[in-house]
A and B are shown apart, each in its own frame.
Chain A
Amino acid sequence: MSDKPRKVGIISCSGEAIPGGTISRVACRKVLDDLRPGMSVTICLPLFIAGGEEERMFADLFPTITVDGCDKRCAALGTESLSGKPTKTLVVTEILEKKGIAPTTKLRNLGPEEQVAVQAVAEEIAAAIDAIQAARQSSSGCPGIL
C-alpha cells in the first residue's frame, strides 16, 4: 500500500493574460472549496521556482492533476520539470471543445457564459479526482480518503 497522503493535488496555470487561465483558476477553486473539499489540495505553480524543496515535492507527495488554460501547458510542463510527473493533465480549451462550449473571452468579472465554462471544467477536474481515488482504492484495497 502506498504511504502517500490521499488527497489529490490540483495545480492551475492560472494564466493572468488569457481567458482560459481565469477559467482554470476559478474552476480549481470551485473544486477545492465546493465540489471536492477535503479531498483536494493546491499550490501556486510559481512556487516551484520561488519556494524550496518542500514545495517542489508536491507532485511526489500528492497524485497531481494539472489544469492549463491554453496549449502552452505551463502547469503540466512546469510541474513535470520542477516537481514530478502529473497523474492527469487537463487543458481548458480541450475540455470546452469536447463539451461543445464556446471559448470564453473575459479575464475577470465573469458572467453567466463564463460560469458555464467554469462548471464544466470543475466537473472534469472532480471526475479526474474520483478516478484517481478509485484507482488507488482498487490497488490498495483501502478506502481512498482519509
Chain B
Amino acid sequence: MEKKVAVFACSGMGKPLGAVAREIGYELTERVRPDNTVLTCLALLVINDPEAQRLVTENPVIAIDGCVKDCAKKSIEAQGAKVDRYYQSIDFFKKHNDLKPEGIAELNKAGKKLAALAADELAGVVDELLAEEAKNV
C-alpha cells in the first residue's frame, strides 16, 4: 500500500498557538499535500486505537505541537513510534512575528495566514519524507 505522511496536531483547547497547530494540520493535509498526507485525531492515540497505532508505526510521521507540553510528540512516542519531524507552532511564529495569532475557537486572520505559510514550508518536508521512504522500500 502506498505510504502517506501521517500528520498529528495538538488538540489546542487552551491556547491560540494550539489552534495554529491544528490549522497547520488542515492546511497541509487539505490544501498543500492532500494526496500524500493524512490527518488523524490525536485523541485516538490516547485510547490506543489500533488503526491510529498502525498509522504511526507504518508511515512517516509529522507532529505539530502548540506548546512545550508536546502532547502530539509524546502521544506518538508512547505508542513506541518514531516522530520523523517535529515542530512547535511558535517556531513558525518566530519566523513570521508580524502574524500574531489570536482566538482559540476561531483563529484570527493573522493566525490563519501563519498556518498557511507554515504548511507551505512543510510541503518540502512531506516530499522529503516520502522520498526517503521510497528509497527504503
Binding site for B on A (CB under 8 A): 12-18, 21, 25-26, 28-30, 33, 42-51, 72-75, 77-78, 81-82, 107-108, 110
Contact = CB atoms under 8 A, between A and B. Distances in A.
Given A16-B22, A44-B11, A25 B43 contact: no
A47 B10 CA distance: 10
Interface string B35-54: 00001111111110100000
Contact of B47 (A16, A43, A74): A74
Given A12-B13, A74-B47, A26 B71 contact: no
Given A16-B40, A21-B41, A107-B26, A77 B47 contact: yes
Interface string B11-36: 11110001000110110001000000
Contacts of A30: 105
16 contacts: A12-B13, A13-B43, A15-B43, A16-B11, A21-B41, A25-B105, A44-B11, A44-B12, A45-B43, A49-B74, A49-B75, A49-B78, A51-B69, A72-B49, A74-B47, A78-B46
Contact of A28 (B13, B49, B78): B13
Interface of B: 9-14, 18, 22-23, 25-26, 30, 39-47, 49, 69-75, 78, 104-106
Contact of A74 (B14, B18, B44, B72): B44
A102 B77 CA distance: 37
Nearest to B42: A46
B70 A50 contact: yes
A25 B41 contact: no
Given A26-B105, A29-B104, A49 B13 contact: no
A37 B41 CA distance: 27
A72 B44 contact: yes
B47 A78 contact: yes
B14 A42 contact: yes
Contacts of A78: 43, 46-47
B23 A45 contact: no
B87 to A, nearest CB: 15
B13 A29 contact: yes
Given A26-B105, A107-B26, A46 B14 contact: no
